[in-house]
Amino acid sequence: MVFPFSSVEDFKINITEEHELFRKSVREFVESKVMPRWQEIEQSNRIPEDILKEAAELGFFGVGIPEEYDGQGGGQLLTAILTEEVARAVPSMAVTIGVNHLFAIPILLYGSEDLKKRYLPPIARGEARGAHANTEPSGGSDVAGIQSVARRVNNHYVLNGRKVFISGAADADYFVVSARTSPPKEGKRWWGITVFVVEKDTPGLKIGQQFRVIGMRGEQPYEVILDDVKVPEENIVGPIDEGFKVIVSTYDHTRIGIAAQAVGIAQATFEKALNYALQRELFGQRLIEFEMIIDKLANMYMKLEAARLLTYWAASLADEGRREFIVAASLAKAFATEAAEWIARQSIQIHGGYGVDVETGVERYLRDAIITTIYEGTNEIQRLTIVRQLVRQAFGLKI
């Protein structure tokens, strides 16, 4: 067996008829209700509330959350299929749903039963929204370097600091927030961070400026300011001072969702290119008959299917509770997002001038794909994870 395969079980992708039936129902909804409104979403930079309400009624916000907390159940693979299909229609809507997972997963992995009961059911029912506030101006890649502080006062904590690029912040009812509760220990920079659940109406929590990023129009990130925000100690997620692990292991799971966003983007833009090449006629023949176009389409399709397989594989390993899923998730995230970016660029080229005409809705996939290479661990950070895991497994060395 070659790393990360420790057993033949590791080769499996656990897709079933139920997954495909679920895909069909999501596709029917997004094709009829979401796709036709992509221009409205690009222009208003918001996902219309009526769409989100219907998505909530269909249970989209509860996918991946156990039934005991009013969720739909289902694991990473089901979540990946939902994400892929929503992203195929309007990628930013997959972000709107995904940020709720970024809120729910740390609570599911590390939260107390009380936190799970209080915060997961309204999220799963789509009645409340969650956001995840970790990144700071000091640098998103360096989670151990955050500078927000949480000072203990009696049985609560007082949070001060500034978070940047927080998706869904303007609409969020609840936030998971990381802050430093103790100085780092010698040789352990990651030590001393704690994760809290903060409610939006808590005095001192303010939503600051909106960042105007190139893509994912419909779900733009915001600055979140913490100015003497008082949080009860029972709102701590996971062990005090060990919040680094809470954050990092959350991303191990949620980055499969970013890979799935990328697969949805790649699928959508590939379909557009294929259809266009079939119908466009030049020099007395269809575009699809030119060898250079065939070469492009074949390469696009190869990367798309490889990205999908890696994503489903990472999700299947995660659902089986196998540790190998961490490296698979990084492989899937980096590969799928770069594949989506490349496929989106080729699709523009195949469309010629219409590819760069905003009205045709082709160029937006490139803008969206670029963003997927950056958040939830840039692709440089994924490469670090991949090689670190490989060296640890193969040689027992820590680098």
SS (H, E, C) 41-61: HHHHCECCHHHHHHHHHCCHH
Q: What is the pattern of x (binds ligand FAD, CB under 6 A) and - over residues 352-371?
A: -------------------x
Whole-number minimum distance, CB 203 to ligand FAD, in Å? 22
Of 36-44, 119-127, 139-147, 349-357, the segment contacting ligand FAD by CB under 6 A is 139-147
Residues 278-317 that bind ligand FAD (CB under 6 A): none
Q: What share of the chain is helix, strand, coil (3-state, %, to 5)?
A: 60, 15, 25
Whole-number minimum distance, CB 379 to ligand FAD, in Å? 7
User: Which one of 50, 57, 139, 188 is in contact with ligand FAD (CB under 6 A)?
Assistant: 139
Active site residues: 376
User: Which one of 55, 105, 124, 133 is in contact with ligand FAD (CB under 6 A)?
Assistant: 133
Please say whether the beta carbons of 392 and 398 come within 8 A. yes
Helix (H, G, I), strand (E, B) or coil at 260: helix
Please say whether the beta carbons of 182 and 152 come within 8 A. no
For every residue of 275-299, DSSP letters joined together read: HHHHH-EETTEEGGGSHHHHHHHHH
How many CB atoms within 10 Å of residue 141? 11
Q: How far apart are CA 284 and CA 210, in angstroms?
A: 50
DSSP assigned state of 32: I
Residues 326-355 that bind ligand FAD (CB under 6 A): none
Residue 132 lies near ligand FAD (rule: CB under 6 A): yes
Residue 105 lies near ligand FAD (rule: CB under 6 A): no
**Which residue's CB is nearer to ligand FAD, number 10 or number 252?**
252
Residue 213 lies near ligand FAD (rule: CB under 6 A): yes
**Which residue's CB is nearer to ligand FAD, number 135 or number 316?**
135
Helix (H, G, I), strand (E, B) or coil at 272: helix
Residue 221 lies near ligand FAD (rule: CB under 6 A): yes
Whole-number minimum distance, CB 115 to ligand FAD, in Å? 19
Whole-number minimum distance, CB 243 to ligand FAD, in Å? 13
Q: How far apart are CA 271 and CA 258, in angstroms?
A: 20
User: Which one of 375, 382, 385, 389 is in contact with ligand FAD (CB under 6 A)?
Assistant: 375
Of 47-55, 137-145, 152-160, 324-332, the segment contacting ligand FAD by CB under 6 A is 137-145
Residue 214 lies near ligand FAD (rule: CB under 6 A): no
Please say whether the beta carbons of 358 and 309 come within 8 A. no
Strands (E), the chain: 130-133, 149-153, 156-167, 174-180, 193-199, 205-210, 221-232, 236-237, 281-282, 285-286
Question: Site residues (CB under 6 A) for ligand FAD?
Answer: 99, 132-135, 139-141, 165-167, 213, 216, 221, 371, 374-376, 378, 380-381, 384
